Amino acid sequence: MGQQLTMSETGWKLGDMAATREAYGKALKELGDKNPNVVVLDADLSGSTQTKHFAKAHPDRFFNMGIAEMNMIGTAAGLARMGKIPFASSFAMFAAGRAWEFVRNSVAHNHLNVKVCATHAGLTVGEDGASHQIIEDVAIMRVIPTMTVIVPADAIEAYQAIYAIAEYDGPVYARLGRAKVPVVFDENYRFEIGKAATLVEGGDVSLIACGVMVYRAIEAAKELEKQGIRAEVINMATIKPLDNAAIIKTASKTGRVITLEEHNVIGGLGDAVASVLAEEHNSNVIFKRMGIEDKFGQSGDGMALLDHYGLAVSDIVAEATRQCKA
């Protein structure tokens, strides 16, 4: 966009409960106010994805494409070709899943500046059940050449990330959630694409997390401290390009790494970190990917589902303790 756009105070405080999709809706509406080239497409879910706020403020630049995600992404590509900055939103199952080949060929292969901002990702979509709980989207988006993949941890980070990707020229996939999750950053935090953030310093075990699992990693670190184990918590909001240096640094420090994500253990953050450790790290690191163990989800409360599928704070504590005894 040429110049740094000034963000507003979001009003969210540490510990507040807010969904990353709420932050998306807020940031998007503001970007629409500030830049006439920002356009938004949705697939009949604007009330859910929160693009409704942009739609209300800028009806001429909002396109409801109906329940037709392939065409939504293909149309976004055409708008980007003519210099617009399209944000295309639906549930992640459809924006990333149904429309994958349009993201790959219409957007990425055409080098077009489309932001695919997908909400309701992961298990925490909750009661809708397995058909809607995409646990594969990070995997299928990050394998597309030139794609940037971002998974914000909370509303503050999501808000800042949406500003950041609007400034960035290139295709982006942003993974956003339905559920309200605790705010872990304060307003002084500054998100940067490709930069990890250390939330808790520690020397015994590294918890590298993204999305809703960042809060759980912080809670686990508190529990571990009571046992005398000092966990380092790293927020890895950008899955691609990955902050390799941050991974090497913390792994060198602790020698123990646990990755945490609301995603299949295959193809997500864990695999990305494992690749860095295997290729670029010389010493032996004790390593565990914690995520969904290649299973479909089911209906239920989102947070209860995380517990059910092995991502409870107690599960993280148990794994970290096991590693520290090893």
> Does 63 help bind another protein (rule: CB under 8 A)?
yes
How far apart CA 316 and CA 123 sit, in angstroms, is 17
**Binding span for another protein by CB under 8 A among 7-15, 17-25, 82-90, 213-221:** 82-90
Q: Which two tokens stand for residue 253?
A: 């420090």
Compute the least distance from the CB of residue 97 to another protein, in Å: 15
Using the contact rule CB under 8 A, the part of the chain among 83-91, 120-128, 235-243, 301-309 near another protein is: 83-91
Name residue 208's beta-bridge partners: 234, 259
Is 71 or 321 the residue whose CB approaches another protein more closely?
Answer: 71
Applying CB under 8 A, does 106 fall inside the site for another protein?
A: yes
* Least Å from the CB of residue 134 to another protein: 20
Residue choice 13, 111, 222, 295 for contact with another protein (CB under 8 A): 111
- Residue pair 12/189 in contact by the 8 Å Cβ criterion: no
What is the nearest approach in angstroms of another protein to the Cβ of residue 157? Answer: 30
Sequence letter at residue 111: H
- Give the β-pairing of 231-235 and 197-200: antiparallel
Site membership for another protein, residue 1 (CB under 8 A): no
Cα separation, 23 vs 161, whole angstroms = 10
Q: Is 80 in the site for another protein (CB under 8 A)?
A: yes
Any contact of residue 84 with another protein (CB under 8 A)?
Answer: yes
Binder among 25, 32, 86, 182 for another protein (CB under 8 A): 86
Q: Is 29 in the site for another protein (CB under 8 A)?
A: no
Judged by beta carbon, residue 42 or residue 271, the one nearer another protein is 42
Using rule CB under 8 A, residue 18 touches another protein: no
Count residues binding another protein (CB under 8 A). 29
Contact 69, 35 (CB under 8 A): no
Would you say 114 or 285 has its CB closer to another protein? 114
Shortest distance, position 55 Cβ to another protein, whole Å: 15
Catalytic residue flag (residue 69): yes
* Strand ordering across the sheet containing 62-64: 62-64, 38-42, 85-91, 115-119, 172-175, 148-150, 238-240
Question: Which positions lie near another protein, rule CB under 8 A?
Answer: 39, 60-61, 63, 65-66, 68, 70-71, 73-84, 86, 101-102, 105-106, 109-111
The catalytic residues are 69
